[in-house]
Amino acid sequence: MGDMLSTGVTGLLAFQTALDTISNNISNVNTPGYSEETANLVTNPATPTNNGWIGNGVSVSDVTRSYSNFLDAQTQAATSSYNQFNTVSGLASSINNMFSDPSTGLSATLQSFSQAIQSMANAPSQSSSRQAVLNQAQAVISQFQSYQNNLNQLGGQVNTQIQSEASTISSLAQNIASLNQSIMAAQSNGTGQPPNSLLDQRNTLIDQLSQDVGVSTVTQSDGSVSVFIGSGQALVVGTQAATLSATPDQFNSGQLDFSLSSGKTTTDITSQLSGGSLGGLLQFRSQQLIPGQNALGQAAVTLTSLLNTQNEAGLDQNGNIGAALMAVGGPLVLTSQTNTGNASVTAAVSNLGALTTSNYYLQYNGTNWNLIDTASGAATALTASTAGGVTTLTGAGLTLTVTGTAQAGDQFLVEPTGNAVSGLSLLTTDPAKIAAAGPLVTAAASTNTGSASIASATVPNTAAWTRGNYTLSFTSPTAYTVTDATGATVQSGAYVAGTPISFNGINVTLNGTPAAGDSFTVDDNATGTGDNTNALQLANILNVKVLNGGAESLSGAVNAYVGTVGLQTSQAQNGATAQQSVMQSAQSAQQSVSGVNLDQEAANMLQFQQAYQAAAQVIATSDTLFNSLITAINYVG
């Protein structure tokens, strides 16, 4: 009888534990990171008797959680990936929205500028039409600056988020390390039972970490979990957590990088990090923000260069050779703080056709200089020449001048156009300074008898032009003389049909055949306020194919940039949507193992409730049996 009672009691206790576990499951149905727990029942060892092995009831061996390492890791990877895409998508949308209206964007503003110049070409002597050109130029500058400000604000936002990511990750690492300690202590306290709630907490923290950065974990035999980020940088090892901090990059370019400190060593691990919202921030910065700033800068540099060159080729309303109309910021070269040499580098744009939207590392390996694209890591061809201790490097459309002595390993950050827009400004407020007129006006003498006419008279470089009125006379169809206004001979020579006649910076090309005695005047157009020749050239600068080695015009490049923004944004948005489904299905796979199902708990509860009632009935029956025995004894007695 005693056995029956104690066996019944084991049932009661075991079922009570099972019901406790079920009630805990029900209570935690909505707790994030909670894994469904199960009380595992085992049969107590039976007692051998002559009549056979008599069972001794049941007991709870342990309470385990439903958990899959594999599914958990999968969920974390999907979460990291989704957060990276989602972060890029959110930030990229900000750039995307800047270009949402095709009729007010940079492309349209540049077009208006070109049209203002065309209107000026219709009435070049009118100062109101000239003023309109300056106003439109200012509008173009403002448009550039407004885009640049938006991008700079995004850069600031990225820096702020980098700081908050660094501190979030560091504090998660601390918490994981201290949970590692608790779990190790709980596992070694002798019961050998798994500390389920601590394990769940640690998983939750690692899940949270996976939102911020891509993680991989390794469970050690002592129960601790080592956490690695990026390409294998240890964030948590046992009870030791490293600190991730946001630090200025080695060039002090205003960008924040990530440094990992464990013990005494601090390492910049920015380039190794990926995944999570942190990976998204870095991806956005290197693939969209910097190229975006550089693309705007490239457009500004191109506009300024073409506009100034063309204006310098003509004559302004006062009859003077045109001067530069716009200023633009030059390339930036930033020196690494880790450089050991004393070399300093300056840069200037030398070839618009080779100018890119990338930033570069200029590295010295002890013998050679290399120019490395910061985003792709690809090397760009560099030609070097040294004279008088100054090394001149040419590549990527830039001329880099190195003075001083560099040591192997020294490097510089070169931003070809990133600084351009901030230096963009109008150099004049005087509408007369726009060079609408061409430098020359030509005429054939009315007495000419030959068939020759002037096809073109140009001044390729106004700086090399000796101004004045010249007469080109032919003493025979094959001999010419150029005289100046005083009648002095400037030049004479043999005329070869089709070959330009060049003198004092002027090139004259003739059509037809001159006759002896024919003459042409090639005059300084100083009073030509009605001439629009140069204005028409100015209006055409948007369509001059100078970029990409002469394959793309300024207006094409600006449009292409908008296309790139749209493409990158839609890729990020589509990626985020796709990764969201991946993450959701990973989560539901993980939850299908670890989640609590209330219907299941209800059924289990019923099951154990009935078993408990049965076990209680066993005890009651045992009591009845005992009572009937006592009664029988009393009756006999």
Partner 1 sequence: MRISTSMLNQSAVNGIMQDETALSQTQNQLSTGKSVNTPADNPVAMVQLLQLDNTSSQYQQYVTNGQSANTNLTLEEQALSTSTTTLQSIRDLVVQANSGANSTSDLKDIATQINALESQLLGTANSQNAQGDYLFAGYSVGAQPFVRGSNGSVSYVGDSGTSSVPIDGGTSVQTGDPGSAVFMNVPSGNGTFTTAATAANTGTGVIDAGSVTDAATWTTAQNAVPGPYTINFTDASDYTVTDSAGNTVATGTYNSSQGGNIAFDGIEVGLSGAPAAGDTFTVAPAGTQSVFNTLDNLVGALNGAGSSSASRAQLSSTLNESLQQIDGALGQVSTVTSNVGSRISLISSVNSSLSGQSTTVQTQISNLSSLDYAAATSQYSQEYVALQAAEQSYAAIDQLSLFKYL
Q: Residue 493 or residue 566: which is nearer to partner 1 going by CB?
A: 566
Q: Residue 321 or residue 400: which is nearer to partner 1 going by CB?
A: 321
Smallest distance, partner 1 to C-beta of residue 544, A: 15
Smallest distance, partner 1 to C-beta of residue 539, A: 8
- The H-or-E segment that residue 512 falls in is none
Query: Which residue is listed with tokens 């090139």?
Result: 507
How far apart are the C-alpha atoms of 413 and 398, rounded to whole Å? Answer: 13
Smallest distance, partner 1 to C-beta of residue 118, A: 5
Q: Residue 30 or residue 429: which is nearer to partner 1 going by CB?
A: 30
Q: Residue 485 or residue 602: which is nearer to partner 1 going by CB?
A: 602
Smallest distance, partner 1 to C-beta of residue 330, A: 29
Contact residues for partner 1 (CB under 8 A)? 29-30, 36, 92-93, 96-97, 99-100, 102-103, 105, 107-108, 111-112, 115, 118-119, 121-126, 437, 441-443, 446-447, 523, 525, 527-533, 536, 555, 558-560, 562-567, 569-570, 573, 584, 587-588, 591-600, 602-603, 606
How far apart are the C-alpha atoms of 316 and 433, rounded to whole Å? Answer: 5
How far apart are the C-alpha atoms of 204 and 188, rounded to whole Å? Answer: 22
Smallest distance, partner 1 to C-beta of residue 527, A: 4
Helix (H, G, I), strand (E, B) or coil at 231: coil
Smallest distance, partner 1 to C-beta of residue 93, A: 7
Question: Residue 165 to residues 234, 276, 281: CA-CA distances in angstroms?
Answer: 17, 10, 10
How many alpha carbons lie under 13 Å from residue 571 in its C-beta half-sphere? 12
Q: Residue 37 or residue 523: which is nearer to partner 1 going by CB?
A: 523
Assigned token pair, 124: 């070049």
Burial 306-322 (b: 16+ CB within 10 A, else e): bbbebbbbbbbbebebb
Q: Residue 102 or residue 156: which is nearer to partner 1 going by CB?
A: 102
* 183, amino acid identity: I
Angle at 474 between CA 473 and CA 475, to 5 degrees: 120
Whether the CB-CB separation of 70 and 266 falls below 8 Å is answered with no
Q: Residue 340 or residue 570: which is nearer to partner 1 going by CB?
A: 570
- What is the DSSP pairing of strand 215-219 with strand 506-511? unpaired
Contacts of 316 (CB under 8 A, 6+ apart): 322, 323, 432, 433, 434, 435, 436, 437
Q: Residue 396 or residue 437: which is nearer to partner 1 going by CB?
A: 437
How far apart are the C-alpha atoms of 84 and 65, rounded to whole Å? Answer: 31
Q: Residue 536 or residue 616: which is nearer to partner 1 going by CB?
A: 536
Helix (H, G, I), strand (E, B) or coil at 80: helix
Whether the CB-CB separation of 294 and 286 falls below 8 Å is answered with no
How far apart are the C-alpha atoms of 477 and 491, rounded to whole Å? Answer: 16
How far apart are the C-alpha atoms of 9 and 12, rounded to whole Å? Answer: 5
Smallest distance, partner 1 to C-beta of residue 310, A: 16
Smallest distance, partner 1 to C-beta of residue 569, A: 4
Smallest distance, partner 1 to C-beta of residue 258, A: 29
Smallest distance, partner 1 to C-beta of residue 47, A: 38
Dihedral pair phi/psi, residue 478, rounded to 5°? -120, 10
Helix (H, G, I), strand (E, B) or coil at 620: helix
Q: Residue 430 or residue 623: which is nearer to partner 1 going by CB?
A: 430
How far apart are the C-alpha atoms of 193 and 202, rounded to whole Å? Answer: 17
Smallest distance, partner 1 to C-beta of residue 442, A: 7
Q: Residue 34 or residue 360: which is nearer to partner 1 going by CB?
A: 34
How many alpha carbons lie under 13 Å from residue 524 in its C-beta half-sphere? 18
